[in-house]
């Protein structure tokens, strides 16, 4: 609808005309007719009680046990049996 209005009016006028509700497009008219023709149900559907988990044991959700913070890689993997290799010198 905005595109149709833009062919005959400026942007601000087309935008206002599109959304003011006084100039509905064919799609808006069809939707309004559909809403009018809908049947309103006066009967209420009875709600059923969900009893699937009422007799089950409660589910306990517990966080994992706390572990002490490690002191670095040495504490995790132990000390290395030898020193790491020395990197080669960089050339500038």
- Is position 54 within any domain? no
**How many domains is the chain built from?**
1
Residues 6+ apart with CB under 8 A from 76: 70
Domain span including residue 12: 2-35
- Is position 75 within any domain? no
- Is position 77 within any domain? no
Per-residue pLDDT of 8-52, as tens digits, reads 888 888 888 888 888 888 888 888 888 888 766 556 677 777 666
- Is position 46 within any domain? no
What is the pLDDT averaged over residues 64-71? 58
Number of Cα atoms under 13 Å in the Cβ half of residue 24: 9
- What pTM was computed for the model? 0.36
- Is position 82 within any domain? no
- Is position 31 within any domain? yes
What is the pLDDT averaged over residues 62-91? 67
DSSP assignments along 27-61, one per residue: HHHHHHHHHHHSPPP-SPPPP----SSSSSPPPP-
The pLDDT value recorded for residue 55 is 63
- Is position 52 within any domain? no
CA distance 54 to 63: 25
- Is position 45 within any domain? no
């Amino acid at each position: 609808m905005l595109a149709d209005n833009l062919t005959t009016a400026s942007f601000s006028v087309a935008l206002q005309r599109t959304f003011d509700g006084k100039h509905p497009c064919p799609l808006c008219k069809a939707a309004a007719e559909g809403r009018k023709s809908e049947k309103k149900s006066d009967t209420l559907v009875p709600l059923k009680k969900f009893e699937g988990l009422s007799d089950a044991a409660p589910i306990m959700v517990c966080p994992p046990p706390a572990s002490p913070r490690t002191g670095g890689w040495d504490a995790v993997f132990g000390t290395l049996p030898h020193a790491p290799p020395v990197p080669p010198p960089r050339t500038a």
